[in-house]
Structure 1
Amino acid sequence: MLGMVVREEADFSPAPFALNPARNEAVDPSSVYGIVQVRILSGLTGLKIDPWGFLLPLTHLVWAVTVAALLGVLFVLQLFPSCQPGRSLLCSDWSVNAFSPVRVLLQQDVVWPAQWWWWERLVLGLWMLATLVLTKSYAGNLISLLAVRYVPQPFQTLQDIVDNVRVAVIAQKHSTFEQSLREVKYGVFHEIAELEDKGRLNFLTHSELAESLDTLVRAGHHVLVDLDVNHRKRMSLDFSRKGRCDFYRSRESYLPLPCSMVVQKTSPLLHGINKGLMTLFEKGIIRHWTDSEGNHTVCNNVPKKVMITSYISLSNIWGVFAMLGGGLTAGLVVWCAELVVRPSQQH
């Protein structure tokens, strides 16, 4: 439409064009009657079930600190008694000292040797208190994790797209966003532009975007970067057809630009168009037109958390049984190794 005005095939175009210096040189814009901005449109891939979710209540740092604390307690209970005069550390004492903190962590019974010193009992008692808090917190968070699931919305900024090598970007061809990518020399926009050489950035026509929205973006491995007003229309039409929200818009927005109608250069129609636009704007008719699309606000705030009331299936927690099977297999291998090694040692 802009090209038709530039080539003098049309006197003016009422479409809301985002203005930039290049377009201002090609045509004469009317009075500004709105602001548009660029956002990211991504597909909602639904509730992802992680079979290893029972490890999620504790972060990697907490797991590392727990293991380090366990090794520290084992070191104290193992090394200090051997340094005390008049006390020899027998094999039985070593096994008791070594496995008592582990049994506490696994919530099993603990043997209290009579020859233990008071400070050894104090260390083990403090370890019991720490593991009690840790296990209760873990159990409570695990129940919450199974009852409340999060809907992933990972792409909120352009930097999120750059960092995720599994996602590609599609954008409208000959748009203000493409022009900005072609001209920028540094920053996150330049990093997005470099994705074209890596095959992760494609520019499509307006008609091709509709098909890509249903196939590429809905699947979750592509995101669409376009004007927010276009996203709203696409989401409202999709909700009207399917009755559910399959897409979400990013919280971050970019390139806020004024939008207006355009006329040919030095066109005498500009004064009359500006007068009519001002009347429509003051009466609120333009805002009424832009907000008159059905269901355009339904998917504005897609919930990130969903309560689950169904039963827990095997697909949710098969990781627990895999870990149990791995432990039993490892124990069986060690037991077989002991049967093989012990007779040879006796000989």
Structure 2
Amino acid sequence: MPVILGIESSCDDTSAAVCVDGEILSNVIANQTIHAAYGGVVPELASRVHQQNIIPAVQQALLNAKVSKNDIDAVAFTRGPGLLGSLLVGVSFAKAFALGKKLPLIEVNHMQAHILAHFIDHPKPDFPFLCLTVSGGHTQIVLVKNYFDMEIVGQTMDDAAGEAMDKTSKILGLPYPGGPLIDKYARLGNPDAFKFPEPNIPDFNFSFSGLKTSILYFIRDEVAADPQFLQKRMNDICASVEKRIVTILLNKLKKAALTYNITNIALAGGVSANTGLRQGLTDLGSQMGWNCFIPQFAYCTDNAAMIAIAGHYKYLNHDFVGQNVAPLARMPFN
């Protein structure tokens, strides 16, 4: 019955979780509000706040799980990808904790952990399944053959879907973080009010740079014609942008599912918290006869529960690393 302490610090959320025999008993997330004043994450500030939050987050995770540090069997941590300074805080803490308690270390790839978050709760997907993993920095379609064998079959060639939403929110003058606000306003708007282009990208790959440019020029021209355009049509703009991003994602996912003849389909990553994407996958899944798996909101954004559950399976596989391990900002997927 392994007890795994999970540590996540890849960007601006400091998180700690405890997993006992494959069950998540605690998942503590310390958010950073300091970045709102700058319209995005400032890496140096993120690193400093991680240093302030890491020990309280771990202590609270242990308290919530009703375990002591002496009960821990291994420490799992995010090695990458992510902001190097932020990763360094989590990796250093994990190494020091493991060294002090003479525990094994388990490195976890952040993007693979998003996928393995589906094994926290029931129902759990059967292998093989396709996972659409969407975050601020990544957009991928992954063929998941087992816990340790995953293949990226499609990915963005430039910008990620989450980045497209973030940049759109900046164009619209929305405060950071803008993704949740686009989601909120989109629920009140007409998704067919405005038409934005869908790029013609081969295979199962994505591109969102052209969409960002078209949105920028559209807003520029409409505001020039009517300075009150954003105030009048904010809900419709957000709904139309969200619809286009969702259709781009789901059209590629549908193509991949048909090509690989797979009906177990999962969604993961921070953008999987978007209401339109969740509903869009549910609707498409009903149409296609898919078994769809969508994680709870708490396991969509960056969190240590997904690191701990990944660590659980790696522990059972005796997949450990030594104290010489270092963070990797651009950690390879495999």
Q: Normalized against structure 2, the TM-score is what?
A: 0.25
Which one has the largest radius of gyration?
Answer: 1
Q: Return the structure number with greater helix share.
A: 1
Larger RCO (CA under 8 A, 6+ residues apart): 1
